[in-house]
Chains A and B, each alone.
Chain A
């Protein structure tokens, strides 16, 4: 191997680029930009602003975070629902006035004051909510108008009571404690805000209300069609927003104890900047508490630091405005291009140098036309018969793309019935000792069907692996299964990165994305036993009582996994360098195994497997229709023995009747051929085989 090839190989071994796509797929990936912005601002101002990291600075900051944070949280609720509230500043001014008047002038208790303040806030929010939610007026214009109205009311009322407010002091000591008290060195208001945040986080991310809010914000009409009361949800968002603002105002009053005539002016700019900067989309439907708080801390750190550096207020506001514009720009671009970016980086091919192929020029693999003139079952009826199996009464079972298991009746297999409906595409099938069928279902997992046709889920989840970024516990493509003498079922999951209909993207990647999973029906437990397999496909329990054979399609090899005996848990290669892509393995009547090669290796593709960057660019630039793929139009069926020696092969050159053979099963002297994309099943008489052999007997002995 040349040096440059070694470099490519090590580059793909050490730098797993598929992780990038998996990270982008995560919901929290949205928060990455605000998080890095926050880190950046701490790094910049931490180094140039004096006393940035000192306790007193942090203490003041946390009190401010409490107040602005609540406003931002309120605004976030409205924005998640798809609206906007510009009147938060004016509402803040009104509610601060209320709180100070009730607490200072009236001398009310904490409870009364809080209720009065929240009451005024809720009233302001209800007006907004009524106009926007119920009357369905434009949120932007409506709240701009209410901003002016609330501010005007404040301007009328405030001068009349301002002297009273300044002359009096609140009588409630709890109110005072709320303003200046510390618990564990932190302001009470901050802890209160933290509690509210946690509660809101749970509601938004886990609660029914949060889910509805996201739905309304994401797609109003769909939410309506799904039965959500859109008007009420929007109304409630504005009320909740103003209630949060009122709470913030109450905390502010407790801390400051007085008010000026410009209170709350420009608050909407600050809050809006914080919200958008945090990554809460202006379009609605996206957002979280964490994002809102990150944005809040960012904005406060910025304005406090600028203040500490002696930069005048207007310049401060100007900077804030510019950052808002930048954040809105980023938000729009991100929402618009996120899926494009994801699509571009998700498919990440890796280096996979293939061993030289076993010769097809002579020997047992020499092509022939023995599969050309075969019998046919279900021509035009079958659609997606990936595997086939027989019970002791010679009934033939096979799957269809529509999610059915079909039962065909002997002797000629021209009549059939729908044995069971599952819903997903059935793949490999096996019978247990009691005659229950277990079947792998693409996208769903392992299912059991009783002889009466009752369907139940056996397993759809396995243990999540520690090193995987994506949650790989759910099964994406359960492929083929077989049963151990003790009743455990071992099955393959071809890939954890792609859905069934994207299987060719996995071929393009050629990474070990698949695994072998063991399900124990006695305990109901599921465990992954082998990871990082290259599209594990066929699975067959060996006659030796201690191992299973499994095929890895994109690696063109057959391996053996020991589940018992001295080599328990180890894997051995059985056949390497197959000239095609192995699919299902099943037992043959003479103590050997049948193996389906679904397609043939082509030198042009084998070469590209050594050039991952070439394949990555191809995935991005070339339409899927034109991608270089394994040649699945010509395959064959071959027979091999326990030692891995190939004994004979049966071909259909050009794939005239049986392109992409995915499985075959021998039953009473006939070999039945399946293809997942074919419209038929083939039958080939095997005159030299045991004419009474039934696969079930080889697993569970002949019944007495």
Chain B
């Protein structure tokens, strides 16, 4: 019966085959806040912001950088032989996710401890990290096949191989808490046994009970692919996003022939898929409303890349949002962090570190 219904649905574009994308409305009403924000520093592929006493840590490809508070020049702290894909700070330690090499601890009593490296269990391609306590790190892995940088491929392959891990720093044990996630990309603590995990390809944030390993969705039907979750001072959260959903991408995800041929025949930069930045090459695909009219790209045009940061309350309900729309460039804002009244946003797509003054203040 379901098979017949699916067959009919596919013919008529109903049910599962219907391609509708939620619109940006309510607290997600578009603005140009990210484009209007101060460009604090220009750092190529800036990502993984962590606020610490010594300054603002961030990554740029393989390099770990530090910006002293109030200074826009970055100092190189360390260099790895693979890109840094996740980072978390706490108790004088830094946990770093290195593509293909797992999680490395830097500083503190467990300095040099490693999880998920060659021959070890643990997340091989970490996408986000969080310290649960001084001896425990929680980690997400987008997929055990595709590296964090290959998120576009995993999305277009409809990957469901993401997982959530608990890493015990004292014993060195890595335990998988949850698997089969559609690209787990962000993690945040709530102060209890429940934590938040962003599940990008299902456009939602789920709540996971660490004791039982059960999960329930809390924020669903997002119009964008959620990336990392950062805590806010008022016990709320900052949600960052890879890009917005696009009706044509949703359609291609249902068109297996085209999708598979695209994955094999078309070079990756030219895929019809979401991206951290777009318009870099004239070989990138163009969609109807992106055609410039009277010399202007319409801000409301459909787009493959977008900048979106959403502030949520402690129950993960959106309160307000900061955007960079189709005509902007501050796209691919996949990491944010708060310091005092200021919010730092890493636009990985544009290679810019943005500073939004006075937005992190309570009320």
* B295 proximity list for chain A (CB < 8 A): 657, 659, 678-680
Q: Does chain B have a CB within 8 A of A445?
A: no
Q: Once the chains are docked, how many angstroms separate the CA of A504 from the CA of B293?
A: 14
Q: Are B247 and A626 in contact (CB under 8 A)?
A: yes
Q: Are A602 and B13 in contact (CB under 8 A)?
A: no
Q: Once the chains are docked, how many angstroms separate the CA of A626 from the CA of B294?
A: 19
* B13 proximity list for chain A (CB < 8 A): 617, 620-621
Q: Does chain B have a CB within 8 A of A164?
A: no
Q: Are B266 and A607 in contact (CB under 8 A)?
A: yes
* A393 proximity list for chain B (CB < 8 A): none
Contact of A634 among B257, B282, B288 (CB under 8 A): B282
Q: Are B283 and A625 in contact (CB under 8 A)?
A: no
Contact of A628 among B272, B282, B292 (CB under 8 A): B272
A612 to chain B, nearest CB (A): 11
Q: Does chain B have a CB within 8 A of A614?
A: yes
* B293 proximity list for chain A (CB < 8 A): 677
* B257 proximity list for chain A (CB < 8 A): 611, 614
Q: Does chain B have a CB within 8 A of A355?
A: no
Q: Once the chains are docked, how many angstroms separate the CA of A115 from the CA of B13?
A: 62
Closest A residue by C-beta to B287: A626
Known contacts A604-B272, A607-B262, A614-B258; is-contact A628 B287 (Cβ 8 Å): yes
Q: Are A622 and B286 in contact (CB under 8 A)?
A: no
* B128 proximity list for chain A (CB < 8 A): none
Contact of A631 among B255, B258, B266, B286 (CB under 8 A): B286
Known contacts A383-B294, A601-B283, A654-B279; is-contact A625 B289 (Cβ 8 Å): yes
Contact of A626 among B17, B248, B267 (CB under 8 A): B248
* B294 proximity list for chain A (CB < 8 A): 383, 677-679
Q: Are A607 and B291 in contact (CB under 8 A)?
A: no
Give the residues from 1 to 39 in chain B that come closer than 8 angstroms, CB to CB, to chain A: 13, 17, 19
Q: Once the chains are docked, how many angstroms separate the CA of A655 from the CA of B248?
A: 23
What number of B residues sit within 8 Å (CB to CB) of A? Answer: 36
Q: Once the chains are docked, how many angstroms separate the CA of A622 from the CA of B249?
A: 10
* B261 proximity list for chain A (CB < 8 A): 607, 611
B277 to chain A, nearest CB (A): 12
Q: Are B285 and A604 in contact (CB under 8 A)?
A: yes
Q: Once the chains are docked, how many angstroms separate the CA of A130 from the CA of B198?
A: 73
Q: Are B292 and A633 in contact (CB under 8 A)?
A: yes
Q: Are B302 and A629 in contact (CB under 8 A)?
A: no
* A599 proximity list for chain B (CB < 8 A): 286
A508 to chain B, nearest CB (A): 10
Q: Once the chains are docked, how many angstroms separate the CA of A611 from the CA of B251?
A: 14
Q: Are A602 and B247 in contact (CB under 8 A)?
A: no
* B258 proximity list for chain A (CB < 8 A): 607-608, 611, 614
* B266 proximity list for chain A (CB < 8 A): 603-604, 607
Q: Once the chains are docked, how many angstroms separate the CA of A629 from the CA of B291?
A: 9
Contact of B286 among A367, A633, A654 (CB under 8 A): A633
Q: Scoring B residues 179 to 213 as 1 if CB is less than 8 Å from chain A, else 0, what string do you get?
A: 00000000000000000000000000000000000
Q: Does chain B have a CB within 8 A of A605?
A: yes
Contact of B291 among A600, A617, A632 (CB under 8 A): A632
* A632 proximity list for chain B (CB < 8 A): 286, 291
Q: Does chain A have a CB within 8 A of B265?
A: yes
Known contacts A611-B258, A659-B295, A680-B295; is-contact A622 B251 (Cβ 8 Å): yes
Q: Does chain A have a CB within 8 A of B327?
A: no
Q: Does chain B have a CB within 8 A of A209?
A: no
Q: Does chain A have a CB within 8 A of B69?
A: no
* B286 proximity list for chain A (CB < 8 A): 599, 602, 628-633
Q: Once the chains are docked, how many angstroms separate the CA of A545 from the CA of B95?
A: 76
* A383 proximity list for chain B (CB < 8 A): 294
Q: Once the chains are docked, how many angstroms separate the CA of A677 from the CA of B297?
A: 11
Q: Are B285 and A602 in contact (CB under 8 A)?
A: yes
Known contacts A604-B272, A655-B292; is-contact A631 B265 (Cβ 8 Å): no
Give the residues from 294 to 339 in chain B that come closer than 8 angstroms, CB to CB, to chain A: 294-295, 297, 301-302
Q: Are B302 and A626 in contact (CB under 8 A)?
A: yes
Q: Are A604 and B289 in contact (CB under 8 A)?
A: no
Q: Once the chains are docked, how many angstroms separate the CA of A654 from the CA of B291?
A: 11
Known contacts A602-B285, A607-B266, A627-B288; is-contact A614 B247 (Cβ 8 Å): no
Q: Does chain B have a CB within 8 A of A623?
A: yes
Give the residues from 239 to 253 in chain A that come closer than 8 angstroms, CB to CB, to chain B: none
Q: Once the chains are docked, how many angstroms separate the CA of A679 from the CA of B297?
A: 13
By size class, the interface of chain A is 35 or more
Closest B residue by C-beta to A659: B292
Q: Are B251 and A603 in contact (CB under 8 A)?
A: no
Contact of A621 among B19, B279, B302 (CB under 8 A): B19
Closest A residue by C-beta to B261: A607
Known contacts A620-B13, A621-B251, A654-B279; is-contact A629 B262 (Cβ 8 Å): no
Closest B residue by C-beta to A624: B288
Q: Are A504 and B288 in contact (CB under 8 A)?
A: yes
Closest B residue by C-beta to A625: B289
A365 to chain B, nearest CB (A): 12
Q: Once the chains are docked, how many angstroms separate the CA of A605 from the CA of B290?
A: 15
Contact of A633 among B265, B272, B290 (CB under 8 A): B290
Q: Once the chains are docked, how many angstroms separate the CA of A118 from the CA of B286?
A: 69
Q: Are B287 and A627 in contact (CB under 8 A)?
A: yes
A52 to chain B, nearest CB (A): 40
Q: Are A628 and B285 in contact (CB under 8 A)?
A: yes
Give the residues from 25 to 63 in chain B that come closer than 8 angstroms, CB to CB, to chain A: none
Q: Does chain B have a CB within 8 A of A345?
A: no
Q: Once the chains are docked, how many angstroms separate the CA of A605 from the CA of B284?
A: 9
Q: Once the chains are docked, how many angstroms separate the CA of A608 from the CA of B293?
A: 25
Q: Are B284 and A631 in contact (CB under 8 A)?
A: yes
Q: Does chain B have a CB within 8 A of A347?
A: no
Q: Scoring A residues 451 to 468 as 1 if CB is less than 8 Å from chain B, else 0, what string do you get?
A: 000000000000000000
Q: Does chain B have a CB within 8 A of A653?
A: yes
Q: Once the chains are docked, how many angstroms separate the CA of A165 from the CA of B292?
A: 84
Closest B residue by C-beta to A677: B293
Q: Does chain A have a CB within 8 A of B246?
A: yes
User: Quick one: which of B246, B290, B297 has the most chain A CB within 10 A?
Assistant: B290
Q: Once the chains are docked, how many angstroms separate the CA of A374 from the CA of B258?
A: 41
Q: Does chain B have a CB within 8 A of A618?
A: yes
Q: Once the chains are docked, how many angstroms separate the CA of A277 from the CA of B251?
A: 40
Give the residues from 374 to 403 in chain A that come closer than 8 angstroms, CB to CB, to chain B: 383
Q: Does chain B have a CB within 8 A of A500?
A: no
Q: Does chain B have a CB within 8 A of A660?
A: yes
A281 to chain B, nearest CB (A): 26
* B283 proximity list for chain A (CB < 8 A): 600-603, 631
Q: Are B265 and A607 in contact (CB under 8 A)?
A: yes
Q: Once the chains are docked, how many angstroms separate the CA of A533 from the CA of B138?
A: 61
A277 to chain B, nearest CB (A): 28
B274 to chain A, nearest CB (A): 13
Q: Does chain A have a CB within 8 A of B270?
A: yes
Give the residues from 589 to 617 in chain A that come closer than 8 angstroms, CB to CB, to chain B: 599-605, 607-608, 611, 614, 617
* B270 proximity list for chain A (CB < 8 A): 602-604
A485 to chain B, nearest CB (A): 38
Give the residues from 669 to 704 in chain A that come closer than 8 angstroms, CB to CB, to chain B: 677-680
Q: Are B288 and A618 in contact (CB under 8 A)?
A: no
Q: Once the chains are docked, how many angstroms separate the CA of A293 from the CA of B17?
A: 44
Q: Are B282 and A600 in contact (CB under 8 A)?
A: yes
Known contacts A625-B301, A631-B286, A655-B292; is-contact A614 B255 (Cβ 8 Å): yes
User: Quick one: which of A504, A605, A628, A660 has the most chain B CB within 10 A?
Assistant: A628
Q: List 11 additional A-B contacts (Cβ < 8 Å) besides A604-B266, A621-B13.
A: A603-B265, A604-B272, A607-B266, A611-B258, A622-B251, A625-B301, A628-B285, A633-B290, A633-B297, A655-B292, A678-B292
Which are the 9 A-B pairs with shortest beta-carbon distances? A634-B282, A625-B289, A631-B286, A604-B285, A679-B294, A600-B282, A659-B292, A626-B247, A604-B272
27 A/B residue pairs, CB under 8 Å, sorted by A: A504-B288, A602-B284, A603-B266, A603-B267, A603-B270, A611-B257, A614-B255, A617-B251, A617-B255, A623-B247, A625-B288, A625-B289, A626-B247, A626-B251, A626-B289, A627-B248, A628-B285, A631-B283, A654-B282, A659-B291, A659-B292, A659-B295, A660-B292, A677-B294, A678-B294, A679-B294, A679-B295
